[in-house]
Structure 1
Amino acid sequence: MSNYLEIPEFEDSIPFRMFLNDGMTIVYPHWHTEIEIIYSRKGKVNIGVDDTIVQLEKGEIYIFPSGEAHYFLASPDSERYVYQFNLKLFDEKILRTSEDSLISLFASGEPHSRYWPKELTQKATELLVQLYGVEEQKPAGMKYMSVGYLYQLIGELYLHLPRRIAEKAQTKRSAIQYKETLDLLNQVFEYVEDRFQEVIVLEDVAKFVGFSPYYFTRFFKTNTGQTFMQFLTEYRINQAKFILANEKIPMVEVAEKAGFSSVKTFHHVFKEAVGQSPLQYRKNLNNH
């Protein structure tokens, strides 16, 4: 089974989200540019990392760096906290001095807390549990608190995270090995993020990253598992879902704000992808 690119849907402008999955939530092989941290809250969590199965014991932590393929197998009687965040959350131009970049920190660091110093495991666990509590309780100033805990976690990792052990250092898709690919994909993602409301054609995107249309088509499909136009359509549908959930505006405006050329096209594409019309989708949200 090929790996697919996952684009996390963040609820607001802060590129961070977290959620709780039970052990029977199976996730197929995928990768994303965001950092993902798994904390085993209960039982044993079975994780696939490339061709290796890792069993995360209760209380253990595992970190997936940007670009590393992974998946989750059935893990009865277990629960896991999942934390995802984009490194754009941290302004490295201001914050970083002589230390490694964040992408290098996560790519070269040991991902499994089983091999961490005891003090790092204890502190990271404390911060992750507090972070989940803030997101659950939603107190005043919660975004400041959430970002604060994430910054503290980064600081602790810089201080105490050991390097990957030798046999784990040769991962198939490490962020260092694939840094150029990830950088190019990020350029494409940012291009779409900035222009999705406009007419976007493949030739323009290819030119933007310095590729021929033919090479760009192969590059994008190879590294994301989908064509560029499939990705663009999926991105616009996700934008439409967010708008439908948060704004009470006519469908023609939803279509325009999500980047669709007409409300007729929007209705057809949305229904084909989601299985219900945009109007029904909005009604179902209001009924929950």
Structure 2
Amino acid sequence: MAIYLEMPNLDPKLGFKFLINEGDILTTPHWHREYELILLTKGKVNIGINDKQFQLSAGGMAFFKGGDIHYIVATPDSNRFVFQFDMSLFNENVVKKMDLASHLNKLSQVSLFWDEKINRKLRTILQQIVNEESNNQYDKEFVIEGLMYRLIACMLRELPKDDEVKVPGINIQSKTILITLNKVFSFVEKNYRTKVTLEDVSKAAGFSPYYFTKFFKKNVGQTFIEFLNNYRIDKAKWEIINTDTPISSILNQGGFTSDKTFYRLFKKQVGLSPKQYKNKYNLVK
């Protein structure tokens, strides 16, 4: 499975980040050190967590632990709330005394296996966090931190542990779709730096170009070319802030056919030029 390291830009004062992802946002296989909880508010999603696949509908939740390889393929009409955090959100003494990370890492990860009563409790708290995010009250961060303490307390007390749930098999049709998408992700990871044709990726997926085009658009919500360009930009973003490689070299090695195309797509996706992005988020001192 193709994977890359994501660097979530958490609020440094809080150790927390909230965002909304609509159906046209494809989360390709990746991992990060931070914890992440998603709440699906509309539509359906297929989720891969390490070597397991799940399907969620509106109201469903998933909890990704630090280091989990995960991806999300959503229907175009879907919408999901994303909550990311790390241990800096909580009091350092509490984290150490409770061994908080260790306890979180034992929890079951998908709401398919959670009691509906606890599901409702968690959804209520998450919605309260969303409401706080939408206002500019002076105590906003204080309230969000308090709600996150409540959320984690509910999870620790009431969610089942990994070894307490039996994961059912995914239906054959959905499993076939996810296996095919994994082939596509892996192909792109190996070849994104070179010229990738529709014929090449269709062959890797085991389809004709005509059928593959329809299959990919239906299950991913964007064309393959859109996905490929976004993937290349994601890779470029990582290299820009995590290495001292010149931007010109990253561009030339990133699979784009022209400088103009790279800069246009980068600015469209990120809202900044590559140089502005590096100056703002550079992690290489």
Provide the C-alpha distance between the structure 1 equivalents of 2:138 and 2:9, rounded to a whole number of angstroms.
23
1:163 to partner: Cα distance: 0.9
Asked if the contact 2:6–2:238 (Cα under 8 Å) also holds between the matched residues in 1, the reply is no
The answer to which of 44-53 and 133-142 deviates more is 44-53
Partner of 2:34: 34
Partner of 2:151: 153
Partner of 2:111: 113
Letter in 1 for 2:93: K
Partner of 1:15: 15
Partner of 1:93: 93
Provide the C-alpha distance between the structure 1 equivalents of 2:114 and 2:274, rounded to a whole number of angstroms.
49
Name structure 2 gaps, 5 residues minimum.
168-236, 255-261, 264-272, 280-285
Letter in 2 for 1:63: F
Identify which of 198, 211, 234 aligns with 2:241. Answer: 234
Asked if the contact 1:45–1:80 (Cα under 8 Å) also holds between the matched residues in 2, the reply is no
Asked if the contact 1:45–1:79 (Cα under 8 Å) also holds between the matched residues in 2, the reply is no
Letter in 1 for 2:127: V
Alignment of 1:104 onto 2:111: no
The TM-score normalised by the length of structure 1 is: 0.58
Determine helix, strand or coil for the equivalent of 1:73: strand
Q: Deviations over 1:166-198 (max 9, x none)?
A: 555xxxxxxxxxxxxxxxxxxxxxxxxxxxxxx
Letter in 2 for 1:3: I
Letter in 1 for 2:112: R
1:135 to partner: Cα distance: 0.8
1:19 to partner: Cα distance: 0.7
Q: Deviations over 1:223-272 (max 9, x none)?
A: xxxxxxx9685148xxxxxxxxxxxxxxxxxxxxxxx8xxxx98868998
Letter in 1 for 2:13: S
Q: How does 1:99-248 map to 2 (within 5 A)?
A: 99=98, 101-164=99-162, 165=164, 167=166, 234-235=241-242
Name structure 1 gaps, 5 residues minimum.
169-229, 237-259, 283-288
1:125 to partner: Cα distance: 0.6
Asked if the contact 1:65–1:103 (Cα under 8 Å) also holds between the matched residues in 2, the reply is no
Identity in percent: 29
Query: Cα–Cα, structure 1 residues 93 and 20, in superposed 2: closer, same or farther, change >3 Å?
Result: same
Partner of 2:79: 79
Q: Deviations over 1:44-97 (max 9, x none)?
A: 122122233211121111101111110011423111001100122212424664
1:25 to partner: Cα distance: 1.0
Asked if the contact 1:271–1:277 (Cα under 8 Å) also holds between the matched residues in 2, the reply is no
The TM-score normalised by the length of structure 2 is: 0.58
The answer to which of 27-36 and 13-22 deviates more is 13-22
Determine helix, strand or coil for the equivalent of 1:114: helix
Provide the C-alpha distance between the structure 2 equivalents of 1:269 and 1:146, rounded to a whole number of angstroms.
42
Provide the C-alpha distance between the structure 2 equivalents of 1:40 and 1:102, rounded to a whole number of angstroms.
26
Partner of 1:219: none
Q: How does 1:43-58 map to 2 (within 5 A)?
A: 43-58=43-58
Q: Compute the RMSD of aligned alpha carbons.
A: 3.1
